[in-house]
Amino acid sequence: MALVPASTSVESPVIAEVDMGGGSDPSSVTVRATVVQASTVFYDTPATLDKAERLIAEAAAYGSQLVVFPEAFIGGYPRGSTFGVTIGSRSVKGREEFRKYHAAAIDVPGPEVDRLAAMAGKYKVFLVMGVIERAGYTLYCTVLFFDPQGLYLGKHRKLMPTSLERVIWGFGDGSTVPVYETPLGKIGALICWENRMPLLRTALYGKGIEIYCAPTADARDVWQASMTHIALEGGCFVLSANQFCRRKDYPPPPDYVFAGVEDEPPPDSVVCAGGSVIISPFGAVLAGPNYEGEALISADLDLGEIVRAKFDFDVVGHYSRPEVLTLTVKDHPQNPVSFASAAKTENSQKS
């Protein structure tokens, strides 16, 4: 099904120009941004990558310079699955479900990352993509960043998986909480409920984030309140992308069963209603929220609004009280194993 721009503040599909040289007044830049609301092709990563390229191409044709995808778009969000886990045991079927889920994840770096980078370069967009990252035998819920030259910039790993997510995903650390300075503004991301963590948000504010991406799996009305609050608190644009999924977007039973429901949902029943949205630094909804179906949700971001909003409230600037309240972020990798021989080799090379 072809996607169409939904609830957009953009009047016509004329490509907006950005001064890629930075210009003397970066606050005069206007950025066309799109959040993608679409479902994974579950357990089929090649097909999901094909779908991602179609969506990126459509957004670029509309003039978008930044395209944001939902949480776990590549690899899939395993909604409704328990992986056979109860306290004290795991089932044989659940272990097999994890094996298949692990197989659908991607290595970072890896061939799928190379392909995503090529897409960003081909369509000349900054790309923010939710993936399930495979690092050996541990999975991470991760966001990848790419620039219009086709370069992979880096990643953010979800710092705090929610509830049963902690059984299937590892925990990120402070070394993957980046904010990238780009010609479109300073771009970063937090994933789903870690957006509720005040200290983690403050770390992004401290890095000067201006375009705050929030890939999620939360389609509830209360999510909109969180997104509006973050926009106001951070004086930044907030771009939240969620999947819109029906039961038929997941494998049929018995290959995939939704736990906690008495009856198997009909194929066309909605299991995630989306709610993707773009919000200004003043808390104004620029596009969305959309609960209608798969869509591209687009808006033009006037970066001057950031300066105007910060005049009122700059959370790590004039509205901070560092003599009373401070935050220390441990932004180095946390490694479970280190080798003394490697340290000796490094020291000998320095000498």
Cβ atoms of residues 45 and 315 within 8 Å: no
The per-residue pLDDT for 12 is 31
CB 201 within 8 A of CB 234: yes
Q: Among 315, 234, 312, which Cα is nearest to 279's?
A: 234
Start-end of H helices in 13-158: 45-61, 92-104, 111-123
| Residue 71 falls in the annotated catalytic set | yes
- In this model, does residue 133 exceed pLDDT 70? yes
Q: Residue 262: its pLDDT value, please?
A: 75
pLDDT score of 343: 62
Tell me what pLDDT residue 342 has: 66
pTM, entire model: 0.90
State the fold for domain 26-350.
Nitrilase/N-carbamoyl-D-aminoacid amidohydrolase (3.60.110)
What is the pLDDT at residue 25?
78
pLDDT in the model for residue 76: 95
Q: Round to whole Å and give the CA distance between 195 and 214.
A: 7
Contact 229, 201 (CB under 8 A): no
Residue spans per domain, the chain:
26-350
Q: What is the mean pLDDT of residues 108-113?
A: 97
Q: What span, in angstroms and rounded, lies between the C-alpha atoms of 52 and 243? A: 12
Say if strands 211-213 and 237-240 run parallel, antiparallel, or are unpaired.
parallel
pLDDT of 26 strictly over 80: no
Low-confidence winner among 32-46, 223-237, 304-318, 328-342 (lowest mean pLDDT): 328-342
pLDDT at residue 345 in the model? 62
Please check the confidence at residue 8 and state whether its pLDDT lies above 60: no
Q: Please state the rounded mean pLDDT for residues 145-173.
A: 96
pLDDT(347) > 60: yes
**186-232 pLDDT per residue, tens:** 999 999 999 999 999 999 999 999 999 999 999 999 999 999 999 99
Pull the structure tokens for residue 148: 């219009």
Least confident segment among 15-19, 197-201, 312-316: 15-19
Residue in 71, 97, 210, 305 annotated catalytic: 71
Q: What is the DSSP code (8-state) at residue 196?
A: G
Which residue type is seen at 254?
P
- Pick the range with the lowest mean pLDDT from 5-9, 168-172, 190-194, 245-249: 5-9
pLDDT beyond 70 at 4: no
